[in-house]
Amino acid sequence: MPSEAAQLVVPSQRILLRTLRILYRNGSLLASYRKPFMGLSGYVITESDRNTRVLVLSNRRSEGSKNAFRILMQLGWKDGELNITMRAGSSPFIWSSHGGSAPLAVPRCGFDGNGCAVSVFDMYKGYFLSGIALFALLIIASVTIIVYLIHAKIVETRKNNLLWKIPFGLLKRQKQRRPERTAERSHHSLRSNQTNLSSLTNSTTDSLAQSKTFTLYSYNGEKCIVRTYCSTSLATMALSVAQMAECRTLRLFDHENLNRFLGLSLDGPNVLAVWNFCARGSLKDVIMSENAMVKDVVFIQSAINELCEGLYFLHSSPLQFHGRLKSSVCLINDRWQVKISYFGLRWLKNVQKIDTKDLLWLAPEQLRKMGDNNNNNDQQIDGSKQSDIYTLALIFTEVYIN
C-alpha cells in the first residue's frame, strides 16, 4: 500500500505538470516572472544588458569521440540581433538527414524555377520530337519503297525470264520434203522464169529445213527457226545473271530489220535458240536460187538499206556488234524485207566448233586473233563493229556479183 505522503505528493505533481505544460507556451507569462530576486549567492537581476549566449548541443556520438554531446553552434543576441556561430565540423551532424550538407538559401533555379538557363532541346522539345518522328517516318517510308521496288524488280525479272524460256515440249519439228522434188521444182521455176511466190516460199522453207544453220520447228502452232547447240553440258547448266539479262534484252528487241528472238529452250537434250520464221529464207538462198528479184535494182537497194539500218541498231544497242554476220543469217520475210538474225548469245556460239566456211566471213584481224587463240586451244571469236562493217561489205559484194 502506498504511503500517505505519496498519495498526497503524486496528485500534486500531476497538477503541477499539467500547469507547466500550459505555462511554457505562454511567453508573456514567463516574461512577467523575469524579476530581480535574492538568490543564495546574492541579488539576481534579470533586466540587465548582459549578452545572452545559448549553446546548441548534439547527443549523437561522432566517430572516434567518447563524448556523448557535441557543441554544434552558439546563438547570441547583441544589440537586438541574432548571431549564429557554427562550430567546425558541425554541418554533417546538423544536416545528416540532408546528405550531410546544408541546403541552399536560394534554390539553384530560384523559387519559381525560372532562374536556370533553359537548353535548346528543352525550349523546343516539341519541335525536336516532331522532327525525330517525321525523320523516322521518312526512313520507314524510304525503306518500304526500296523494298517494294526491289520486290517489283524481282517480279518483273521473273516475268521477263518467262518470256524467253520456251519449254522443249512445245516445240514440234517440221517434216522435211525430199530434196529431189525441191530441186526439180526450183529448176522448173528457173526455166519458166516465173516468180510464183508460193513455189518460192516452199523452196526457201525447204532450204531452211535442210540448213545446217537453222532447223524448222513450230511453236504454239506458228513456224519458227531453231539453232541447235549440241552440248549436253549447256542444257543442264544454270545461266548467270548477265546471261539471263542478255536473253531478256534480246527478247525485247523490236526493230523492223532485226529478226525477232523468241527465246531459249533449256530443258531438252540440247540448247535451242528459237527465232521468228521468215518465209523466203535467207539472203544467200535467194541469191543462189538466181531469182529474178536478185536482179531487181529496187530490191537490191532496199536490201542494202535494210541491212545498214539493222546493223546500225545493233551497234547502238547493248550488244554493240553482231560478230557472226553473213548472208545466211540475213533472212527475208514474205514482204521481201531483209532482217538480220542470229545476233547475241556469244556465250553459246563460242562453245561450238567453228565451221571452216564461216572463216571466209571474218575480218583479217579476227583471223589473226584466232590464230593466236588456236595456239592456246581457244577458238572464241571476239567480234567488233569494224569486223561487222567488213562482213557487210562482203555481203554487198555477193549481192552485186550475183
User: Does the predicted TM-score (pTM) go above 0.85?
Assistant: no
- The last residue of a domain, from among 47, 68, 96: 96
pLDDT of residue 195: 43
Q: Tell me whether residue 9 is in a domain.
A: no
234 part of a folded domain = yes
Q: Of 186, 217, 187, whose CA–CA distance to 202 is shortest? A: 186
Residues 170 and 271 in one domain: yes
- Which regions of the chain are under pLDDT 50? 178-201, 203, 207-210, 235, 376-377
Query: What's residue 275's pLDDT?
Result: 92
Same domain, 72 and 202: no
Q: Is 1 a domain residue?
A: no
Given this model, what pLDDT does residue 198 score? 45
CATH of the domain at 216: 1.10.510
Amino acid 71: pLDDT = 74
Q: Do 74 and 194 sit in the same domain of this protein? A: no
- Select from 96, 118, 146 the last residue of a domain: 96
Domain boundary among 54, 77, 96: 96
- pLDDT of 260 reads 92
Residue 82 is part of which domain span? 20-96
In the chain, the number of structural domains is: 2
For residue 121, tell me if it sits in a domain. Answer: no
pLDDT digits (tens, 9 = 90+) for 278-287: 988 888 888 8
Domain for residue 310, yes or no?
A: yes
